[in-house]
Amino acid sequence: MRRKELVLSLAFLGVFSFQVLWHWFLSGSLQVARSLSETYLHHGRRWDAEGWLDLVLPAVLLGLTTGWVGSQWSVAKLACFILVAGAGIAGLMPVYLLFVDRSAVWFWNGTVSDFGLQFVKACALTGFLACLGYAAANGRRNERKARGE
């Protein structure tokens, strides 16, 4: 495996590991874990914490990293990594249910359509952010070339 693929694989592993450890922590018996879990799973807020932490945060990190690291890759290779990131983000949803009380998880019914929707959202957000990372990396590279570095 080449260096860039290894860096990106380690980033994926780091983000996915953090996500699993976060949900494991939320299932703990400490008071702070219970308080965070109640806030995290609370239904009816203007913003849903679980959406930000389960979808947006990993998509931002993985999307920007994928675009930046893969800025010299072909579009097909970049798309493959975006699909892997989306599948990973969506695939973790059932894993989270191993740690939290399933009855408290109002936003996830566990159906195929839930998984499919999560996959589409994760791929779309990761892909958009990968484009931003790709453009930023290429812009920086072009700027360095223009300066003669």
10-residue stretch averages of pLDDT, the chain, 149 residues long? 88 93 83 75 58 86 94 92 94 81 62 85 95 91 81
Q: Exposed, middle or buried, 111 (CB in 10 Å: 0-12/13-18/19+)?
A: exposed
What CA dihedral angle connects 54, 137, 11 and 79, to 10 degrees? 70
What pTM was computed for the model? 0.81
pLDDT for res 89: 92
pLDDT for res 31: 83
